[in-house]
Amino acid sequence: MSKKKYPVLENIEITDFAAEGKSLARVDNYVVFVPFTVPGDVVDLQVIRKKHSFMEAKVVRFHRYSADRVQPFCLHFGICGGCKWQMLSYEKQLEYKQKQVADTLLRIGKVSVGEMLPIIGASDTREYRNKIEFSCSNKRWLTEEEVQQQVQYDNKNAIGFHIPGAFDKVLDIKECHLMTDLQNRVRNGLRDFANTRQISFFDLRNQVGVLRDMLFRTSNSGEVMLTIQFHYIDNEEERQAMEVLEYLETSFPELTTIVWVNNLKCNDTFGDLPVHIYKGQGYVYEMMEDLKFKVGPKSFYQTNNEQAYRLYSVVKDFCGLTGNELVYDLYTGTGTIANFLASSCRQVIGIEYVPEAIEDARINADINHINNANFFTGDMKDILTDEFLQQHGHPDVIVTDPPRAGMHPDVVEVILRTAPQRIVYVSCNPATQARDLQQLAEGYEVKVSQPVDMFPHTHHVENVVMLEKK
């Protein structure tokens, strides 16, 4: 059955940004969502999807470029799923992120906010990540130009990023500007080495192939950790995996530690698998003020060091600590915020449902000789019982930093019942933050909101709000 043919819309002006980094235009009674465009662009659009009130389209011709448009710096722009705002000046990126937070909280969420502070931008807009992951695949994504050439490729091995909507296809990355150039040299070198040695790349559909995944972590202490995932099932494939490790160690002495995993599962997560150390100590240290954080292959740590420090500084400021407070840090992860606040309060209690993360939090407290931080594992609504509060005390301040889905309504109810004087809510998703703030409005007022840009050239934005008891 042939695909439905949709119309081409001519001379359409892009007017604003929408969700997920896409831009939008309005045509008749439709909202049209368009990727990789900037408000002010005038374009012809090929509609690729049509619903009752909206359409999705792609650009087939530019008539006029927006004055806010800049030249993208990456050769993979427009194909790779990341850095979708490279074509927008950084000043405008910050402006639209500020607007996104304000619109989400005030206009859509109907949240009353006392003060909206200007966004804190990043001084480094390239090479700002301390963590980046690349997938290995024997099914390289072919660009439209390559498809039109109808060339038959004998070798389609790739190391790069998964194409959105094509789970088994990987865009082969030649350069990435999110991390220092070392990851480019290692990735490109490994691809060439594996092709020369005829080491197989992973086939996600058929679950075969030795080279599966590579994860870089760089630290501001100068250390670099590489985690390699293999998929080997016999002695010959294991020999190939060890050959790869030897190549990496001898060719890239800048890698201070190399660890590896044999992952025979159907997905790339390895939290439940043993990690083997091939070189070095098996972890790196991140520094923040006078604190040192141990970060292993399975650890969570904010991926932008500089902005993480600015974010946590906002959190500390919003907590208004005098040294006498009891602070509860919900979704504490590896305890970074809790340990960062410990010197400024009487005691901090971190709660997290991932046991491995709590182990890291306790280790980090020990490393930094922090004696007033306690950590507990479990679901927030199950831990924050009347008995727990009686034993450990009612918090003066609650800090909460939930995942993108926000807080479960039961957790919000627990917070309301716990009734701290102040709540500091850190969010990577203003939409779910606004939803939770509506529920918290029963007992709290939002005094101030502070956006922080953690991820330049993307539409993502963090936001911190401070609430006080009514």
Reduced to 3 states, what is the DSSP secondary structure of residue 433? helix
The whole-angstrom separation of Cα 470 and Cα 464 is: 19
* Separation between Cα atoms, residue 98 and residue 121, nearest integer Å: 10
Closest to 120 (Cα-Cα) out of 466, 456, 446: 456
* Closest listed residue to residue 209, CA positions, set 237, 246, 172, 247: 237
Query: Please, are residues 375 and 352 in contact by the beta-carbon 8 Å criterion?
Result: yes
155 CB burial (10 A radius; 0-12, 13-18, 19+): exposed
User: In terms of C-beta density within 10 A (0-12 exposed, 13-18 middle, 19 or more buried), how is residue 44 classed?
Assistant: middle
| The token pair that represents 127 in the structure block | 């090479």
Picking from 201, 139, 191, 207, the residue whose alpha carbon sits closest to that of residue 168 is 139
CA angle 446, 452, 454 (to 5 degrees): 140
The whole-angstrom separation of Cα 90 and Cα 125 is: 8
Q: How many CB atoms lie within 10 A of CB 456?
A: 23
What is the distance of C-alpha 108 from the center of its chain? 24
Residue 372: CB atoms within 10 A of its CB come to 16
Cα–Cα nearest to 427, from 133, 111, 177: 111
| Local structure of 336: helix, strand or coil | helix
Task: Judge whether 428 counts as a catalytic residue.
Answer: yes
Q: Which of 80, 83, 136, 428 is catalytic?
A: 428
What is the edge-to-edge ordering of all strands in the sheet holding 462-469?
113-116, 444-452, 462-469, 422-427, 397-400, 326-330, 347-352, 373-377
Sheet containing strand 257-262, edge to edge, reads 166-172, 158-163, 131-137, 211-218, 224-230, 257-262, 276-279
Return d(Cα 467, Cα 443) in angstroms, integer: 10
- Give the type of residue at 188: N
Are 180 and 171 in contact by the 8 Å Cβ rule? The answer is no
Confirm if 331 and 352 have CB atoms less than 8 A apart: yes
So which residues are the catalytic ones? 428
